[in-house]
Structure 1
Amino acid sequence: MKYPKLYEPAAIGSLNLKNRIVLSPLHTNFTVDNKYTEKYIEYYMERAKGGVGLIISAHVMAEIDVDPYPITFGYPTLDSTSEIKYFAELTEGVHQYGAKIAIELSPGTGRLADEIIEGEPPVGPSEIPLLTMPDVKTRELTREEIKQLVESYGRAAGFAKQAGFDAIYVHFMAYLGDQFLSSCWNHRQDEYGGSLENRMRFLVECIESARSSVGEDFPLIVGLALDHGFPGGRELNETIEIAKKLESLKIDALHLRRGSYDAMNLIVPTVYMKEGTSVDYAYEVKKSVNIPIIVDGNLSDLSYCESILEEGKTDFIGMGRPFITDPHWPNKARAGKDEEILPCIRCMQCINRVFFARYSACSVNPQYGREYEGQLQPTSKAKQVLIAGGGPAGLTAAKFLAEKGHNVTLVEKSNKLGGHLLEAAVPAYKKETDGYLEWLIRQVKKPNIEIRLGTEVTPDFVLNIKPDAVVVCTGSVPQLPQVPGIDSENVKIATKLLENYTDVADNIVIVGAGLVGCEMALFLKEKGKNNITLIDILPEIAYDVIYVAKPSLLGELEQKGIKGRPGLKLKEVTSTGIIVEDIKGNTENIDANTVILATGLEADDNLYDNLQDKVNEIYKIGDCISPRKFIDAVHEAYAIAKII
């Protein structure tokens, strides 16, 4: 076996697990009316079927009388026996496949409250500003309310045991529990504030309350932030002291990760962060206590995971997003089929959508969240399907159409499959995107898929092939500003330069500071280039980068010394640089030896328009509708595959 330590049986207290793989808590927003649905249950069951050892559920609230927040995320509540049946259906489904499941049980929300209920101000350990609405402050909890929260926590833990959960995960990371633990948020003057012992009192009482309901031998896992990742937040040394005090309470495991919602790039590491963001910090805790450790944070390289287990840096490997992309990766890796694992590209779409009150979704796995629909059913009548374009939309459509039993001809104008994935996968930190592209190409190497490269699809080509259906995925092409000097030798197009890099001179201006421009700048730093400036007509840098990834990207640009100058419009390219204009109409010369254009894309939909009266069944998907994200291309391809 390639990863013997990863697949070694292990225990958390009295709970025996078949391996050391843990599905970390990850909210998907799949609830309806704050209750588990078939969509949610089938999502977890598919991961259990895939070979995970332990599942830690997403956030469950112990009560909503004292702290009814948040409103928009659909967290279920386990505050009465009437709720047990919903959770029991989940645990029974997971247990069918030999996996175990812990409930992530939260005592409250505190400063992470969202929409405000009239007459019910958010509560917290102290009067502190809300994270997303700093003008609104929490009301300090009274001693009587804290007692009510503690009692509710114990009662909910008892209900969880009745529902069939195998362990209680005491959720003291970022939310109300963490706010009590941390002096940056806890300013109380009574027995719940001040010293670390006092700030831990709420945690200790919640643990004791849970134990009174579930018994001394029922496993308890405590989730803690290793550090908060911002000035004034908790540091690692204090977390180590917390862990030492928890050891005396005979906690069965600690789940550790860095960060807070004030430092999103740590709590949910992006593609710009290193592998194993939390490992070294967690190891410092592990060396200080005799409690099994679960660590997560950008852990997708299984060889690396195996090595940190062998070195004793952790006892269990926690992952979230890799289970979204491929729920069966544990079984595949155990069987030595690593190449079949669909990699997570760390695009953050799954989490970003939840922050905006939508169902979570995956850029590379369109079946995530649709597990309840079952697999695509074989077609009753195989069709000859022509797919024009071998980018992510075309490749995904070909994969699923072939799996249904259709005969597919996949035609790509260039000599390579991949479309815009080709340039997206070039930077060293995008190795997962490169892995995804390789995975996609392997998926279309099927007997019922014919691939033709270096071939342009024209109306005559289509009439000659005579397909039953045509799927147009011709993508998008660079959109170039029409200004004097745009054709100069010192001008490069970002997408083309990424795909076929040739050396460029230092002192570089990148016109267009969206995602492509920013990642072009980081790639040039990889190549050792200096004095790089991003300009954009819009008033901000990284304007099209999703919310949860933007702080990480901006931080990386700053760290690498890449300058950003928003609010400037390109007027002319000269032999010595460019001329720009600000919003007031003032012009400026910016010196540059190389000018790189990352000024967006425009849809290439000519083929679709030219085929309208020539083909009975025709579809248009991906960037040829309008340039967007990979997630749009992949999901449109899956939707088309379902109906053809």
Structure 2
Amino acid sequence: MQYLFTSFSIKNCHFKNRIVMPGLASFLIENDGAYSEKTIEHYRLRASGGPAMIIMEAHGVAPEGVVSNHQARIYDDRFIKDISRAAAVIKNEGCIPAIQIHHAGRQVPSRVINRKPFAPSDLPCPSIKGEVEPLSIKGIEKIITQFGDAAERAKAAGFELIEIHGAHGYLINQFLSGFSNVREDEYGGTINKRSRFARDIIREVRKRVGQDFPLSFKISAQEFVPDGLTTEESIEILKLLIPEGLDVIQVSAGNDATPEWICQSMFMKQACLIESAEKIKSAIDIPVMVVGRINDPVIADKIIKEKRADLICMGRGLLADPELPKKAKAGRLDDIRKCIACNTCMQSIFRNGKIECLVNPTLGRENELVFQPAVRPKNVLIVGGGPGGLNAAHITSKRGHFVDLYEKNNQLGGQLLYAIKPYFKKELSLLLDYLLFQIEKENINCHLNHEITLKEIIDLNPDAVIIATGSIPYMPPIQGINSQNVITVPEILNMAVTINGGNIVVLGGGSSGCEIALDLSNKGCSVTIVEQLPRIGSQIEAATKKMIIKGLKENRVKILTEHTLKEITDDRVYVADKNNNQFSIEFDKLVVSTGNIPDNKLYNDLKNKGIEVYLLGDCIQARGAKEAIYEAAVISNKI
């Protein structure tokens, strides 16, 4: 880490290293825009982990410009008290407090702001749809003033750098891009005119904060849409913006039509935006921050060494492990709980209205899920070495208990061992590596190839038992389901069955079915998915789903939604559509991916014996690793 931990300066901001936490929605803001204690602790914890600077999440400069009820706000003086407290907490941890100011423009549902959203032109947001109100010159001037007012409040609150959010399809980005701006006045048309709104805002903010105050601008240098921004066009734009008073540029990508480029999934390579950032850095004369799947300090160090960027933005990496910078500096690389780019954080926000992390169960719960030493050490027996069992063993042992872990197979990892097999899910191995390192570090007694029995547990007489035995594939009651040409997803992934080409039917279009269909089609198989629901992949996070669907289409996977499989013969499956029109499909193998059922018999037997026993993960209900890891943390903290 010779280069990542060198110092750097932007005006009067002195960076102790090159790591920056960029603005990320925490969804820990109250409905009225107030910070909660959770908000403060969320940022304090990350500041204490050792980054040089934290850019607090996007703060709305106008009531009409907030994305959701849980967005932070800075459009009124009443918000100064909260943001001042956050700035002080971050600074007290030895970290530079920065803040991002923002207007959503058309990228907000009208129900959130109780009016039509503002936009440069009469073009609705691609994902939200609905009517918009094109901004008048007077409306534009009002928003420019609101950005200036917000900057004054941010400086008064103690922030030492302000970032203007000009990316991700929000209002400033909407003006910059030909994809969203078709105005014919002085704010649309040529690059010079499309950049005028941004230039006016920068000029106003600079006037309000003075010449010595550092200003950043975040840009989606590539939008990946027709008439959208490209790196080359973004360079031209930045050359117009920088003279107005910018000190640093944060290079991002994507807009609301291409969210997979805003919060990149594991389908995309690490540091996937570095080429764009490098081109921009070589074309301008102020520092460049780069964001985009940089979760590995070794990669970050190499970027700084090669002078491809000046500062490294680690967003989700610091959600996954707030201590990432400290651990990296100390050389404890194996001890870093790395982001796996599963986008659980995004899915939790959009579906559940709260932020969660698959690998870090304390995210969003920093105040309530605190691991303290056990009052009295106990003998704890854990059955099952999947992600839930491993995390339970790690936390239980770390709290001071004596742990024995029993696993019936010859390897620890459970279904993670299968999940990492497709090329596009290799990143999951980072989670498995981390958990196995914790087991080794805690020197936990692991008993492999040992399917422990009820009698053995009773004879061992542990103080508490945690059952993490997972689940088994559900085989639907279909004629022919027990044929030799019918297999399950785990049988493919653990290589109990080898498939080399042929006609494959996948029964079930959930996440597992879609992933195995993509994996098999990549290997040359002709694949058909049969799914009862109207759509496939309903459980998959949006950006990840977009990449999977794209891959399925490219591989010409046939998708039969609202279809039911009726019968299986030696070489054909019989299928019916929603109108009960039946037909047959010739096949070589049928892969069953219709969900799993809990394996919890041992739990019920122990419960009946009056033993202190806990159940977690799939053996409660078949779900995912996030639930298993979280439940393991909660249970381990109780014992």
Q: Residue 487 of structure 1 aligns with which residue?
A: 482
Task: Provide, for residues 599-640 of structure 1, a one-character-per-residue CA deviation record: whole Å limited to 9, x for no partner.
Answer: 211111211222222034222111111101211111111111
1:517 has 2:513 as partner: yes
Q: Distance in 1 between matches of 2:164 and 2:280?
A: 18
Inter-partner Cα distance in structure 1 for 2:527 and 2:10: 51
- The answer to whether 1:70 aligns with 2:64 is no
Partner of 1:16: 14
Deviations 1:174-204 (A, max 9, x none): 2111112122222333322222222212111
1:473 Cα deviation after fit: 1.4
Residue 54 (structure 2) pairs with residue 59 (structure 1):
no
**Is 1:469–1:615's contact at 8 Å kept on the other side of the alignment?**
no
Correspondence for 1:99: 95
Q: Does 1:31 align with 2:32?
A: no
Q: Does residue 365 of the first structure (1) align with residue 360 of the second (2)?
A: yes
Query: Secondary structure at 2:72's aligned position in 1?
Result: coil
Query: Does the residue aligned with 2:235 lie in a helix, a strand or coil?
Result: helix
CA distance in 1, matches of 2:272, 2:554: 17
| Pairwise CA distance, 1:68 | 4.8
Separation in structure 1 between the aligned mates of residue 494 and residue 463 of structure 2, nearest angstrom: 34
Contact 1:55 1:99 in 2 (8 A): yes
The AA in structure 2 aligned to 1:69 is V
Give the 3-state SS of the residue equivalent to 1:520 in structure 2: helix
Structure 1 residue ranges without an equivalent (≥5): none
Q: Does 1:296 align with 2:291?
A: yes
User: Which residue identity does 2:66 align to in structure 1?
Assistant: Y
Change in 2 beyond 3 A, CA 1:550/1:189: same
- Residue number among 330, 334, 338 corresponding to 2:333 in the alignment: 338
Q: Deviations over 1:39-86 (max 9, x none)?
A: 11221122221111121111101232xx253343x1122234332221
SS state of the match for residue 285, structure 2? coil
Does residue 381 (structure 1) correspond to residue 376 (structure 2)? The answer is yes
**Secondary structure of the corresponding residue to residue 200 of structure 2:** helix
Match of 1:427 in 2: 422
8 Å contact from structure 2 (residues 127, 257) kept in 1: no
Per-residue deviation, 1:118: 8.1
Task: Extract unaligned runs of 5+ from structure 2.
Answer: none
Mapped partners of 1:329, 1:69: distance in 2? 31
Q: CA deviation at 1:447?
A: 5.7
Please tell me whether residue 83 in structure 1 is matched to residue 79 in structure 2: yes
| Distance change in 2, residues 1:215/1:558 (3 Å) | same
The offset of 1:207, in angstroms, is 0.8
Q: Which residue of 1 aligns with 2:454?
A: 459
The equivalent residue for 1:172 is 166
Per-residue deviation, 1:342: 0.7
How far apart, in 2, do the equivalents of 1:355 and 1:13 lie? 38
The structure-2 alpha-carbon separation of the partners of 1:473 and 1:517, relative to structure 1 and needing over 3 Å to count, comes to same
CA–CA distance in structure 2, aligned partners of residues 601 and 117 of structure 1: 38
Of 130, 152, 159, 2:153 maps to: 159
- Taking the TM superposition and a 5 Å limit, the aligned residue runs for 1:558-597 are 558-597=553-592
Question: After TM superposition, where is structure 1 displaced by more than 4 Å over at least 4 residues in a row?
Answer: none
Task: Write out per-residue CA displacement over residues 99-154 of structure 1, whole angstroms, 9 at most, x where no aligned residue.
Answer: 21221111x211111252686322222222244442x2111222222222111211
Q: What is the identity, as a one-letter code, of the residue corresponding to 2:75?
A: D
Which of 501, 505, 510 lines up with 1:506 in the alignment? 501
Change (3 A) 1:197 1:339: same
C-alpha deviation, 1:293, in angstroms: 1.2
8 Å CA contact 2:383, 2:405 repeated in 1: yes
* Total equivalences in the alignment: 636
C-alpha RMSD of the superposition: 2.1
Equivalent pair of 2:179/2:226 in contact (CA under 8 Å):
no
Once the two structures are overlaid, the 10-residue window that deviates more, 530-539 or 316-325, is: 530-539
1:531: how far off?
Answer: 2.0
In structure 1, how many angstroms separate the alpha carbons of the residues matched to 2:323 and 2:492? 37
Contact preservation (8 Å) 1:541, 1:565: no
Task: Supply the distance in 2 between the matched residues of 1:497 and 1:84 (Cα, whole angstroms).
Answer: 57
1:525-536 map, 5 Å: 525=521, 528-536=523-531
Which stretch of structure 1 is more off in the superposition, 181-190 or 259-268?
181-190
What does 1:219-618 correspond to in 2, within 5 Å? 219-356=214-351, 358-373=353-368, 375-445=370-440, 449-500=444-495, 502-507=497-502, 508-525=504-521, 528-618=523-613
Q: Which amino acid aligns with 1:175?
A: Y
**TM-score, scaled to structure 2:** 0.95
Distance in 2, matches of 1:347 and 1:165, equals: 32
Cα distance in structure 1, aligned partners of 2:386 and 2:86: 38
CA distance in 2, matches of 1:304, 1:496: 35
Kindly report which structure 2 residues correspond to 1:173-188, keeping only aligned pairs within 5 A, or say none: 173=167, 174-188=169-183
Q: Deviations over 1:567-621 (max 9, x none)?
A: 3322233332422222222222222223222221111121122222203422211
Corresponding residue SS for 1:254: strand
Change beyond 3 A, Cα 1:276–1:145 = same
Moved more, 503-512 or 208-217: 503-512
Counterpart in the other structure of 1:42: 41
